[in-house]
Amino acid sequence: MKIKVNQRIDELDEMTTRKWGSGAVPEVSLDYGLKGHVGGRANYLKEEIQINYYLLDKYEDDYIQQTIGHEYAHLVAFKVYGRSILGKPHGKAWKYVMRCLGMEPKRCHSYETKAARRTRTHSCECNRCGKKYELSTIRYNRILRGYNYYHPKCGGKIEPVMVEGPKMYS
């Protein structure tokens, strides 16, 4: 896989050099990579591409062609157009570079991904109508600290469901 990634970088570098006089030869970070829904990430200052190893492994050919190309185009756009692209990383400059490199300027991938972390939920309910809710830990903790959430239909207050612990007998 690493050989194919490097071949793709070399191919992109050659096209970039022909078009703009110099290319980019980024470090490709395979060791720690990205997780979750992120396909890849370009680090302009380090001239580095970080990859999602899970997606590379699962969608090898398309990932190398499209995602490596997508991230490489970010580095080239930064090199050619400078800091002006920082506020709009998928703007006109990046789209132009993508087209020059023979790719459709798609912002997002369509790979099937798995979440980087699992989220925990907590049971709550409306104190007026009894509607059940599963809230994130963040919202649940806000309620515990006094923040109020209300049921949009009946206006009742959403409160934690108190789970009884083991009964103690004396």
Evaluate whether residue 83 is within a structural domain.
yes
Is pLDDT at 167 greater than 70 in this prediction? no
Query: What confidence tens digit (pLDDT) does each residue in 87-145 have?
Result: 899 999 999 999 999 999 988 887 887 765 667 889 999 999 999 999 988 899 999 99
Question: Is residue 145 located within the same domain as residue 78?
Answer: no
pTM for this entry: 0.67
More reliable by pLDDT, 120 or 18: 18
Q: Do 51 and 95 lie in a common domain? A: yes
Structural domain contains residue 96? yes
pLDDT value of residue 37? 81
Residue 17, domain extent: 2-100
pLDDT at 38 over 60: yes
**Is residue 94 packed enough to be buried (19+ CB in 10 Å), middle (13-18) or exposed (0-12)?**
buried
Same domain, 51 and 132: no
Contact, 151 vs 158, CB < 8 A? yes
Q: Are residues 127 and 84 in the same domain?
A: no
Quick check: is 66 in a domain?
Answer: yes
Tally of domains in the chain: 2
- Do 12 and 91 fall into the same domain? yes
How far is residue 33 from each of residues 40, 41, 42, 124, 161, measured CA to CA in Å? 8, 9, 12, 37, 39
Instruction: Supply the pLDDT for residue 86.
Output: 85
Kindly state whether residues 65 and 142 are assigned to the same domain. no
- At 128, which amino acid appears? R
Question: Residue 16 is part of a domain; what is its CATH number?
Answer: 3.30.2010.10
- Residue 157 confidence (pLDDT) above 80: yes
User: Annotated active-site positions, please?
Assistant: 71
Mark whether 133 and 84 lie in a shared domain: no
Rg, C-alpha atoms of the chain: 24
Q: Are 55 and 18 in the same domain?
A: yes
* Domain-embedded: residue 51: yes
Question: What is the reported pLDDT for 170?
Answer: 44
**Judgement on whether residues 89 and 136 belong to the same structural domain of the protein:** no
Q: Are residues 94 and 138 in the same domain?
A: no
Q: Are residues 16 and 83 in the same domain?
A: yes
* 166: pLDDT strictly greater than 80: no
pLDDT band (50, 70, 90) for residue 5? very high
Residue-wise pLDDT tens digits, 48-86? 999 988 888 899 999 999 999 999 999 999 999 999 888
Q: What is the pLDDT of residue 120?
A: 82
